[in-house]
Amino acid sequence: MLAVRRVGSRTGQQVPVGIGSVGRLPPQDVAEVRRVLDVVGEETGPIIGRFVGLRRFPQTRYVYLAPDDEMATSLLILQDRLVEAGLKLAPDVYQATPHAVIGRVPPEAELEVAAAARALVPSPTFRMTTLGLWSLSDREASCLHRVLLSGVL
């Protein structure tokens, strides 16, 4: 993730780099969201995987790293566990593919960011050990809750 952060700094992105899974949440009680994260974090083990591709979202300047199939499957299972535990998701999340956003790439930085990001794939295998709830604005981020993935499933 530190290598992704270095590439992300060239994009002007000031929010945390992480693996996107559920996106924006519809309105719901934050205390209930924290409870769901705690429950799921206790039963879910670390997710192991690597990034295998650099991609761009269609018709945007945003680029992302795509996880391998095993990691993508694990992230989708995690998403299902969150829903089963009571987390409400936007309907369009179910068509989303797990990814790690690098950021919005301005035209003048496109070649530099592409070269740096290509060096990240395929990535070494790594362990995703935390699950977090973040409040994001255009330029700032604050962590509202974070849990360890400490289970065995």
pLDDT at residue number 17: 47
- Does a structural domain hold residue 153? no
pLDDT at residue number 15: 46
pLDDT at residue number 54: 85
pLDDT at residue number 123: 82
- Does a structural domain hold residue 90? yes
Q: What domain range is 122 assigned to?
A: 2-148
CATH assignment at residue 78? 3.90.1140.10
- Does a structural domain hold residue 121? yes
Q: Which one, of 13, 40, 27, lies nearest residue 145 by Cα?
A: 40
pLDDT at residue number 3: 55
pLDDT at residue number 23: 66
- Does a structural domain hold residue 80? yes
- Does a structural domain hold residue 113? yes
Counted domains in the chain: 1
Other C-beta atoms lying within 10 Å of the C-beta of residue 105: 24
The tens-digit pLDDT sequence of the chain (153 residues) is 455 555 555 555 544 445 555 667 888 899 999 999 999 999 999 999 998 988 888 888 888 888 999 999 998 899 889 999 999 887 766 567 788 877 788 888 878 877 887 777 888 888 889 988 887 776 777 888 999 999 987
pLDDT at residue number 8: 53
DSSP 103-123: EE--GGGHHHHHHHHHTTSSP
pLDDT at residue number 69: 93
